[in-house]
């Protein structure tokens, strides 16, 4: 992504206050009424807006849902990126990144909303494209945490690590939501961090 700002490419990075209030309304509707209740009419009424406000701010219902998905983790991910970029590349930065992932994974309500929306995302080609772009943004943040050098020859290897990091978060979030007491995120992320350091060390060693 070259010299792009950290929040460029995030689907909801430039939302207006009204649009953000509609995203919040959509999350309330989703939590209360489930995916079947997440209609343009319901969200507009919840937000106190006209129905056409969805099209004006998001282009379509798919745009609104993509913004909802983005809102679920964007702020924490961006905050983590800012924090880690203040550290020199190396184990300390990776540790801070893992700790942020652990906190995110333990946010069960957020992931319940995400998993409720996911079936719709998988069936809708426009939503798949939009959410795929969001995942690409997350992976890019991880790569930029591993290396500040845009020309680092290891970037492709770092991108593969980033894909696995996203998969670990999603997979452990499911287990935590299903079995809160039986899924020890502290122990699991300690193990994951050790594995990650070992693999990154192999990359660094060529």
Mean pLDDT value across residues 70-83:
74
Average pLDDT estimate for 38-59: 90
Pairs from 22-29 (Cβ < 8 Å, separation ≥ 24): 22/47, 22/49, 22/53, 22/54, 22/57, 22/58, 22/64, 23/64, 23/67, 23/68, 23/71, 24/71, 26/64, 26/65, 26/68, 27/68, 27/71, 27/113
Over residues 119-142, the pLDDT tens digits come to: 988 998 888 988 888 889 889 888
- Full set of structural domains in the chain with CATH: 14-68 (1.10.10.60), 72-204 (1.10.357)
The Cα–Cα gap between 136 and 9 comes to 9
pTM flag (> 0.85): no
Q: Comparing C-alpha atoms, which of 54, 19, 35, 161 is closest to residue 97?
A: 161
For residue range 130-175, list pLDDT tens digits in order.
888 888 988 988 898 888 888 999 999 999 999 999 999 999 999 9
Res 72: pLDDT: 77
CA dist 183 and 185 (Å) reads 6
Highest mean pLDDT out of 44-58, 66-80, 94-108, 183-197: 183-197
Q: Give yes or no for residue 34 having a pLDDT over 80.
A: yes
């Amino acid at each position: 992504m070259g010299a792009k700002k950290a929040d460029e490419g995030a689907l909801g990075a430039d939302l207006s206050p009204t649009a953000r209030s509609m995203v919040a309304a959509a999350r309330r509707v989703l939590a209360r009424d489930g995916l079947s209740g997440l209609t343009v009419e319901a969200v507009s009424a919840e937000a106190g807006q006209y129905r056409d406000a969805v099209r004006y701010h998001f282009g379509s219902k798919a745009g609104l849902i993509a913004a909802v998905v983005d809102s679920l983790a964007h702020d924490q991910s961006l905050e983590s990126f800012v924090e880690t970029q203040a550290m020199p590349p190396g184990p300390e930065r990776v540790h801070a990144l893992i700790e942020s992932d652990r906190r995110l994974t333990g946010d069960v309500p957020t992931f319940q909303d995400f998993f409720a929306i996911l079936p719709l995302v998988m069936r809708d080609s426009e939503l798949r494209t939009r959410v795929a772009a969001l995942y690409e943004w997350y992976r890019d943040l991880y790569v930029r945490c591993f290396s500040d050098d845009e020309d680092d020859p290891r970037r492709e290897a770092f991108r593969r690590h980033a894909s696995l990091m996203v998969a670990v978060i999603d997979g452990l979030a499911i287990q935590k939501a299903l079995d809160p007491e039986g899924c020890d995120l502290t122990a699991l992320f300690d193990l994951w961090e050790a594995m990650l350091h070992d693999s990154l060390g192999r990359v660094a060693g060529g």
